[in-house]
Amino acid sequence: MLKSILLASLIALMGQTAVHAMDRKVLTIATEGASPPWDMIDTEGKLVGYDIEVGNELCRRIAVECKFVAQDWDGMIPALTVGKFDAIMSGMAITEKRKKSIAFSQPYAGGFNQLVMRKDLQLPATDTKAKINLTSIGAAQQAILGQLQSALSGRTLGVLRSSNSEAVLNELFGKVATIRSYDTQDNLHLDLAAGRIDGGLADYFTWKTFLDGKDGETAAFYGPELSGGLWGPGVGVGIRKENADLVAAFDKAVDDCIKDGTLKALSLKWFGIDISPSATP
């Protein structure tokens, strides 16, 4: 009897926590702060970027204040589940693996990943405008991937640790290349610029910021644009599963931002192209 009473009390408390998740006036949102233009730290030490601006807009529509905090990427989901913060907005793809631990809002952005390789390697030419959705690979796409595997055989490739790109890189090239994982994208960039690795795989827009600087003289995009598969349907707000009301609130706010063009305007501002869900397949 006592166990039943305690269990009922615990369930009631958990339900009450979920129901009142939106009663608060401030939501703490974690972001990495090291993946421009998604999120970064400016010269004044402030978190800025697409994630932060979209997050503030979503919170305005939910009628709460956003407080953004920096969090290491590979500890982000565990920290959310233990209540260190209320949500994640850090260019995080919605995947089946992550959905086992946390819930997601509907996507607030699309996007794709791409390889970048050092120019001095003089690798065989590729079509960098070609697109491969890893969810459904036909014979033609498999042939392109086969050519890439041959070209990158024996190379050392960098990737962000605990990311979906890491899983994809290991799946596609783990048998032919050495994969080196990094704690931050910045450290990957430093090793690539210094020639300690031959290339890497990451979000296209994160690479573009890197290549638009002086490093564009030594490295370039290589191979097709990659999407789908382990990357899932897009980028969403990560939320604890028990906070169903917060998921619903973010869903509505994202939907409103899609319908009135706000996400399109913000993606054009930060990326130069429209990566809002309405524009990406």
Q: For residue 66, is it within any domain? A: yes
> The domain spanning residue 180 has which CATH number?
3.40.190.10
At 135, the amino acid letter reads T
Do residue 66 and residue 176 come from a single domain?
no
Q: How many helices (H) and strands (E) does the chain have?
A: 10, 14
Q: Assess whether the previous peptide bond of 37 is cis (omega < 30° from 0).
A: yes
Residues of the chain under the 50 pLDDT cut: 1-20, 281
Range of the domain at 180: 113-231
User: How many structural domains does the chain have?
Assistant: 2
Do residue 202 and residue 253 come from a single domain?
no
Do residue 146 and residue 136 come from a single domain?
yes
Do residue 124 and residue 209 come from a single domain?
yes
Do residue 86 and residue 124 come from a single domain?
no
- Rounded to the nearest 10°, the torsion over CA 6, 7, 8, 10 is 90
Q: How many CB atoms lie within 10 A of CB 129?
A: 8
Do residue 99 and residue 128 come from a single domain?
no
| Residue 104 bridge partners (DSSP) | 238
Q: For residue 13, is it within any domain? A: no
Q: For residue 278, is it within any domain? A: no
Looking at residue 277, its pLDDT comes to 85
Compute the C-alpha angle 116/190/225, nearest 5°: 15
Q: For residue 280, is it within any domain? A: no
Q: For residue 15, is it within any domain? A: no
Do residue 78 and residue 52 come from a single domain?
yes
Do residue 36 and residue 128 come from a single domain?
no
26 three-class SS: strand
Looking at residue 257, its pLDDT comes to 97
Do residue 127 and residue 261 come from a single domain?
no
pTM over 0.95: no
Do residue 67 and residue 139 come from a single domain?
no
Looking at residue 279, its pLDDT comes to 57
Q: For residue 279, is it within any domain? A: no
Do residue 259 and residue 121 come from a single domain?
no
Q: For residue 11, is it within any domain? A: no
Do residue 216 and residue 121 come from a single domain?
yes
Q: For residue 12, is it within any domain? A: no
